[in-house]
Structure formats: structure tokens, C-alpha cells
Amino acid sequence: MQYALKERIGHPDLFCGRETEMKWLMEWSSRIPRELAKSQALLGRRKSGKTAIMQRLFNVLWNQNGQVIPFYFEVKDKNMWLLEFAKSYFYTFLSHYFSFIFRKPLPLHSNYWRWDQLIQMAKRHNNQDVISEMDGFANYIKNESAEEAIELAFGAPAGFVGYTGKNFLVMIDEIQYMTEYIYKDKEETASFIFQLTHFLYDLSYVETHGSASPSRERANIFWFLISKHR
């Protein structure tokens, strides 16, 4: 198996004793293309192996090269301006998407590529909807429009469902830190309050436009969230 995402556990053979969990997750993820799966959350104490399971699931799905594109993002336990958080999230999402599409392993010491590298991949991919999303995001960054940037970044997986016809599995590690360490302002004086329930509900839907008025439809995007149990 090729390890597109470097696993924190170290040598892949150190991942052991998780046969039951992985069997269940593989059965669950196989139902995603048929829209028969439900989003899941994994709770456990610190150092109980949650991250290892999530990263291995990413690599297994990446190697399957099927209808489910995995996206793994780890929220750090450090203060961060909302705009920088949006950049980290969107860069990581794009990198994992292009890694899957082009069968290209991710950088060893980073979960994402530089913006100029992502631009080159987008041009090679030649999907005008994807390029338009990236142009819009770059404009928000230039104008320091943090809330618009985070809305676009978080909405990207659902939007890409319509652009690509693929299904996305969004895996967020340590999601509870989103409510503790993200700030609205560059000076880190005003916390940005994530309402996680509304966040997950809203970003699983995509705007559709046709001859009638715009509407919201459920996108085939699924969440696998992990959080440490205090």
C-alpha cells in the first residue's frame, strides 16, 4: 500500500490491533457512494489511537482510488487568526483533492502544498469551477476578508461534489479546538465562536441554480470527527 499521507504512528507496521474498528469503518465508507452512510464521531482519551485510525482510513481510501475522496485535517491547540485558519484548511483540502486526482503522495513534512504549486495543479486539472473557487479565495485573502474566506473554505467539499461528481469524506481531528483557539482578529483579542452543530449541518448542503429559484440540496459529503474525551 502507498502511504500518500505520512502517518504519525511511524512505521506502518506499528498500526496493529485495530482490525475491528477498521473493518467497521471500511463497511461504513463503502456505503457513502450509495448515500446509505451517516456521519460519525469518535471519542476517546488522549493517546488512545484515534489519529492513527483516521490517518490509516485516509490512506486506505486513497489507495482504493474509488468514488470516495478522503480529506484529513487536524485542528491545532494553538491560537490562530481566523484568516490563517481558513488558509490552512483550504490549502489542505485542495492538496488532498489533487493528491487523489493525480495519484501524487503529499509532501512528507506537510499536509499541503504551497499556493503556487496548487495553482499549477489546478491548471493541469483544467476544471473551471475549481479554478474559480481558488480565485475567489485568493481575493478574500488579499482583502483580509476572514469570515468570507472561512465560509468558502469550509464549503469547498460540498461544492466540489457538484464540480466533480465524487463523494467526499471529511475527517477533522481534534474538532473541539475550533471552539477554543480561533480568533476573529489578527491581534487575537476576540474569539470566533463556531457553532459546531450548525456548522456541520450548513456545510453539508450546496446551493443549486436552475431555471427556477436557487435551492439547497444535500451534498454527498460525510463527516468523521474525532475529539479527545476529557
pLDDT digits 0-9 by tens, 46-74: 666 788 889 999 999 999 999 999 999 99
Q: Quick: pLDDT tens for 155-194.
A: 999 889 888 888 999 999 988 888 889 999 988 888 887 6
Q: Which of 9-23, 42-56, 119-133 has the highest mean pLDDT?
A: 119-133
pLDDT of residue 223: 60
Q: What is the pLDDT of residues 136-162, one digit of tens each?
A: 999 999 999 999 999 999 999 988 988
> What's the pLDDT score for residue 78?
94
Residues linked to residue 211 through DSSP beta bridges, in sequence order: none
Dihedral sign of CA atoms 125, 129, 134, 139 in order: positive
Which pLDDT band holds residue 2 (cuts at 50, 70, 90)? very high
- Cα separation, 217 vs 108, in Å, equals 37
Hey, CA dihedral for 151, 153, 155, 159, is it positive or negative?
positive
Q: Using the Cα atoms of residue 164, residue 166, residue 172 and residue 178 in order, give the sign of their dihedral.
A: positive
Cα-Cα-Cα-Cα torsion 172, 178, 179, 184, nearest 10 degrees, comes to -150
Q: How confident is the model at residue 210, as a pLDDT?
A: 41
Q: What is the value of pTM for the model shown?
A: 0.85
